[in-house]
């Protein structure tokens, strides 16, 4: 064997060894943190699982049930992520069955004294992390805390609800998630955000959002936002760069006009294939907004007469204003924003190589071209 072949074999061996070190840990409401974390001897808490899932490629599978805050109250977090994966081997936290593992941060107070955790997950400075399939609820401040140097994070298939639902007098936002300008490479895919925001405390109630972000390289696809009435579903904040907001469904009025807010400076912003249902005035609001490289195309707007209040700096094309998207149920809770067979949203989008599935994980497109909104019509009704 020559020296080059010997060196190659060593590298392959080390790579195989690194892969072999990745482990899977299970968590159950009936588990014990002294257990091994196997499927037959699961751990009790996600916080303990996060402490032992330290290697790239490690996976934490959370079984069905409701997981409490363990007595943690704001300003503290139930689970802080102190370990990172790699691009090829992220550390993954996922529900064994989508929406069957409920992470309850514990707030029951409507007063200014919140009695739950600030958030269930704190991303801290972690990177290459996947958080998938949970219901995250009843947090004082955030669904997922992210105000460090986190990057390369995927938030997929979660329901983030009942965040900040208490009296709050400070002019700080209560959000599904907040991203600062040090953070980058975030993907939000197939999540549902609803009932986020304070019950009172300020004379103006427009600071609480589904996603509030200064980040770079941000992909927001296949999500559903509704009842974000104390702010906006998405607020793009100063310094945001290279964003894709595509194939999302926005429903019901926000704090003011529009369901997306563009604030201050942004570059390379694409808003495409979305459904805006019953916004006030227009779909997209702007405040001291300067954008470069902005495209707003192939969106459907119902209940407002204008796509944007001010399109300066943005290229608007192929948007539909007026048609009812014909959701299965947008009248009474629980809502169903899937499309009826007569929906004008069917085959009205454009194919995007970054959006190959829909909110439910169905392959896009199912017809000649992609549908607008979070759901791809599959011919089931």
Domain assignment present for 371 = yes
> Taking a C-beta distance cutoff of 8 angstroms, is the pair 231, 250 a contact?
no
pLDDT at residue number 379: 86
pLDDT in tens, 202-215: 999 899 999 999 99
- Whether residue 6 has pLDDT greater than 80: no
- Whether residue 380 has pLDDT greater than 90: no
* Statement to judge: residues 84 and 203 lie in one domain: no
Give me the helices (H) in the chain, please: 3-21, 46-52
Residues linked to residue 169 through DSSP beta bridges, in sequence order:
none
- Whether residue 16 has pLDDT greater than 70: no
Q: Indicate the residue among 125, 152, 167 that finishes a domain.
A: 167
% of the chain with per-residue pLDDT over 70: 94
> Taking a C-beta distance cutoff of 8 angstroms, is the pair 277, 250 a contact?
yes
* Statement to judge: residues 214 and 343 lie in one domain: yes
- Provide long-range contacts, Cβ within 8 A and 24+ apart, for 105-110: 105/69, 105/78, 105/136, 105/137, 105/138, 105/139, 105/140, 106/68, 106/69, 106/72, 106/73, 106/138, 107/138, 107/139, 107/140, 107/162, 107/165, 107/166, 108/138, 109/166, 110/165, 110/166, 110/167, 110/199
* Statement to judge: residues 33 and 153 lie in one domain: yes
* Statement to judge: residues 203 and 351 lie in one domain: yes
* Statement to judge: residues 155 and 203 lie in one domain: no
**For residue 19, which phi and psi values (nearest 5 degrees)?**
-65, -40
| Interacting residues of 379 by C-beta distance below 8 A, sequence separation 6+ | 341, 366
* Statement to judge: residues 162 and 241 lie in one domain: no
Domain assignment present for 320 = yes
Stretch 257-285: mean pLDDT: 97
pLDDT in tens, 115-157: 999 999 999 999 999 999 999 999 999 999 999 999 999 999 9
Domain assignment present for 28 = yes
Domain assignment present for 211 = yes
Stretch 83-108: mean pLDDT: 98
pLDDT at residue number 13: 47
- Whether residue 4 has pLDDT greater than 90: no
For the chain, what is the mean pLDDT?
A: 95
* Statement to judge: residues 53 and 117 lie in one domain: yes
Q: Which range (16-30, 43-57, 201-215, 325-339) has the least confidence?
A: 16-30
- Whether residue 20 has pLDDT greater than 70: no
pLDDT in tens, 181-198: 999 999 999 999 999 999
Range of the domain at 300: 199-218+228-381
Q: Which of 73, 50, 64, 117 is nearest to 95 (CA)?
A: 64
Q: Provide the number of structural domains found in the chain.
A: 2
pLDDT at residue number 183: 98
* Statement to judge: residues 128 and 261 lie in one domain: no
What is the C-alpha separation between 349 and 368, in angstroms, rounded? 10
Q: Which of 131, 133, 70 is nearest to 98 (CA)?
A: 133
* Statement to judge: residues 122 and 266 lie in one domain: no
Q: Which range (13-27, 53-67, 127-141, 312-326) has the least confidence?
A: 13-27
- Whether residue 238 has pLDDT greater than 50: yes
* Statement to judge: residues 378 and 271 lie in one domain: yes
């Amino acid at each position: 064997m020559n020296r080059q072949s010997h060196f190659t074999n060593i590298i392959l061996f080390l790579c195989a060894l690194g892969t072999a070190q990745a482990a899977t840990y299970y968590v159950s409401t009936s588990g014990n943190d002294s257990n091994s974390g196997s499927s037959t001897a699961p751990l009790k808490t996600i916080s303990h699982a996060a402490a032992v899932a330290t290697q790239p490629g490690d996976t934490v599978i959370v079984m069905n049930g409701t997981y409490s805050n363990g007595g943690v109250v704001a300003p503290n977090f139930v689970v802080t992520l102190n370990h990172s994966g790699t691009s090829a081997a992220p550390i993954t936290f996922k529900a064994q069955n989508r929406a069957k593992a409920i992470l309850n941060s514990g707030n029951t107070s409507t007063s200014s004294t919140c009695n739950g955790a600030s958030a269930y997950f704190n991303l801290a400075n972690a990177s290459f992390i996947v958080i998938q399939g949970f219901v995250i609820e009843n947090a004082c401040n955030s669904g997922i805390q992210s105000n460090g140097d986190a990057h390369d994070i995927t938030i997929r298939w979660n329901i983030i609800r009942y965040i900040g639902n208490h009296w709050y007098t400070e002019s700080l936002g209560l959000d599904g998630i907040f991203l600062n300008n040090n953070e980058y490479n975030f993907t939000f895919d197939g999540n549902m955000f609803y009932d986020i925001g304070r019950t009172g405390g300020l004379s103006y109630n427009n600071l609480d959002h589904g996603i509030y972000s200064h980040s770079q390289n941000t992909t927001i696809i296949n999500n559903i936002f509704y009842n974000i009435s104390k702010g906006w579903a998405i607020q793009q904040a100063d310094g945001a760069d290279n964003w894709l907001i595509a194939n999302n469904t926005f429903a019901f009025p926000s704090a003011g006009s529009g369901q997306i807010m563009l604030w201050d400076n942004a570059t390379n912003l694409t808003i495409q294939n979305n459904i805006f249902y019953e916004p006030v005035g227009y779909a997209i609001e702007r405040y001291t907004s300067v954008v470069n490289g902005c495209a707003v195309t192939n969106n459907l707007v119902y209940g407002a007469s204008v796509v944007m209040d001010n399109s300066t700096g943005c290229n608007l094309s192929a948007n539909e204003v007026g048609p009812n998207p014909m959701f299965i149920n947008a009248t009474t809770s629980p809502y169903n924003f899937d499309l009826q067979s007569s929906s004008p949203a069917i085959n009205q989008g454009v194919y995007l190589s970054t959006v190959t599935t829909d909110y439910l994980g169905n392959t896009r497109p199912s017809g000649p071209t992609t549908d607008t909104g979070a759901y791809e019509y599959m011919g089931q009704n």
